[in-house]
Amino acid sequence: MAGQQQMMEMPDMSNAIVAQDENGRPFIIVRDQGSKKRSHGIEAVKSHILAARQVSSILKTSLGPRGLDKILISPDGEINITNDGATILSQMELSNEIAKLLVELSKSQDDEIGDGTTGVVVLAGALLDQALELIEKGIHPIKIAHGFDKACKIAVANLDSIADKVNIFNDLEENLKPSSELFKAAKTSLGSKIVSKCHDQFAKMAVETILNVADLERKDVDFELIKVEGKMGGSLGDSKVIKGVIIDKDFSHPQMPKVIEDAKIAILTCPFEPPKPKTKHKLDISTVEEFKNLQNYEHDKFQQMIKLVKDSGANLVICQWGFDDEANHLLLSNDLPAVRWVGGSEIETIAIATNGRIVPRFEDLNSSKLGKAGKVTEVEFGTTRDRMLVFENTENPRAVTVLIRGSNKMLVDESIRALHDSLCVVRNLIKDNRIVYGGGSAEISCSLKVMEEADKQKGIDQYAFRAFSQALDVIPMSLAENSGLNPIGVLTALKAQHVTQGNPNLGVDCLGSDNNDMKELFVIETLIGKRQQLLLATQLTRMILKINDVIVSGTQY
């Protein structure tokens, strides 16, 4: 009997391999027959949710004005410090396909709205957390997805009902006053950014930039007319808005004038050099006479090109290509300042700003195709050799450039990202001037509304509604946690105040001002931005809940 028991307990040797160690002693490798195969169906959905939840948890600590920054180190060792959700996710190397969907989610929010990239990922992670709990209770993912969709519609309708409108004046000076609502909105978006010490200045720059390019009648803002340039050196306070264009170039010759008044600009994509034969033949020069003839030919061609430019009335040349020292000397001697190696995008920006035409051939150049600017200046930055050309008072007054200064590249880059968010907030208010209040107040109001509707639902939908409501609570709880407050205590107190006072504007006081009314503190978020957060997070959650398998190049795993 003991022998039988011993035989029963021996492992199955049918799938064993006999191997030898370095001393020649044999040993047996038994393959694990009980290894788990990759799960499909419900188990696969769970694993997808867990992968996405890890990404969301990274960003949760960066939410709000007291959110923490992240250090991003690129493969070549470059360091970047930011708390911008889209930037953090774009530089993370993720191997999981489901986690990559959250990166796309953040990118969608950034492209469409420009602000709220951290919040949308945190909300999506909270929805997936709640979905996981319902799946473990035995509810099918498709049922959960449908329930979340219905709950999202109720939350979006609630946002419309609690929204207020901000006043946008036709006069630029009125909008730039610290008391104007547009100025306050721009300032709010900068609260969690690195430029908070220059709050008012950057908010003013954002409002001025947007209103210069905005078409208030059509409620449209063309971001193509806005250029943001960063330059190291100086302080953040030296940043300014220039009504015109800045390019990171200087004049081709150091003796050319540094300031050109009433500039008439020839914008060329043809090089300042003699035409070359477009064949594979070679030109052999065997005598001095032939060489002199070639030299005279080149000189005559240069003179002809310069004459065509001068005859058109131009007093400044912008060339996409380079030119040699001879051409440079001839341009100088003919009092024709020039800029070479100007990139394609910069050429287009100059053409738009100066109402000029890009000319591909010297023969096509005439006075009607010249760009016009009131003043072109070569600006030097301190003791460095860095120079830039500033085109001011251009023909198209809607072309605006924002010059950001900073002591190092990291500060300049983060300031540009901060200003971009602020520009987007002001742009969104031009498109739709309705707002909801921040500090998690909108989420708490929507959470209470969805929970109220949950009691009216029949069947499984009520579970999905309650889960959606609890997911919305994660935003105010994260804000409270990042501000050093007791998240559960703060949320419970705020919900009670919402119900008893009927005030949907009560949110988390992150800055310690002893006032929970976000309307009085003017902590706002644009309605279209908040609505887009809810819709995108819900859509992504539905998408992940419907995925039960990942197939890469025909391999299922």
Three-state DSSP class for residue 190: coil
Residue entry with tokens 């959650």: 541
CB atoms within 10 A of CB 465: 23
Residue entry with tokens 């969907």: 101
State the pLDDT at residue 38: 36
pTM over cut 0.85:
no
Cβ 463 vs Cβ 131: under 8 Å = no
Sequence-separated (6 or more) residues with CB below 8 Å from residue 227: 245, 246, 349, 399, 400, 401, 402
Given CA atoms 342, 343, 348, 352 in this order, what sign does their dihedral have?
negative
State the pLDDT at residue 86: 77
Kindly list the averaged pLDDT for each block of 10 residues, start to end, along the chain of length 557. 44 54 58 40 75 82 82 82 79 77 82 80 90 87 90 92 83 76 80 72 88 83 84 82 85 87 89 69 79 82 85 89 81 88 85 87 87 85 73 76 85 85 87 86 91 84 90 90 88 90 86 80 84 90 81 61
Given CA atoms 272, 277, 278, 283 in this order, what sign does their dihedral have?
negative
Three-state DSSP class for residue 524: strand
CB atoms within 10 A of CB 227: 21
Of 61, 82, 118, 526, catalytic: 118
Structural class in CATH, domain 42-165+437-556: mainly alpha
Between the alpha carbon of residue 548 and those of residues 124, 310, 368, the distances in Å are 18, 69, 63
> Which one-letter amino acid corresponds to residue 121?
V
Smallest CA-to-CA distance from 377 within 477, 537, 197, 256 is with 256
State the pLDDT at residue 382: 61
Element (H, E) at 405: strand 400-406
Given CA atoms 303, 308, 314, 320 in this order, what sign does their dihedral have?
negative
CATH 3.50.7.10 domain span(s) along the chain? 244-278+286-396
Beta strands in 458-532 (DSSP E): 524-526
State the pLDDT at residue 20: 63
In this structure, are strands 26-30 and 79-82 parallel, antiparallel, or unpaired? unpaired
DSSP state of 517: B
In the residue annotation, 129 being an active-site residue is answered as no
Of 61, 82, 87, 117, catalytic: 117
Q: Which CATH architecture has domain 244-278+286-396?
A: 3-Layer(bba) Sandwich (3.50)
Q: Which residues pair with 220 in a beta bridge?
A: 215
CATH 1.10.560.10 domain span(s) along the chain? 42-165+437-556
Given CA atoms 318, 322, 328, 331 in this order, what sign does their dihedral have?
negative
DSSP collapsed to 3 states, 459-476: CCHHHHHHHHHHHHCHHH
In the residue annotation, 61 being an active-site residue is answered as no
In the residue annotation, 117 being an active-site residue is answered as yes
In the residue annotation, 421 being an active-site residue is answered as yes
Of 115, 421, 473, 509, catalytic: 421
CA distance linking residue 225 with residue 228, whole number of Å: 10
Of 61, 82, 84, 461, catalytic: 84
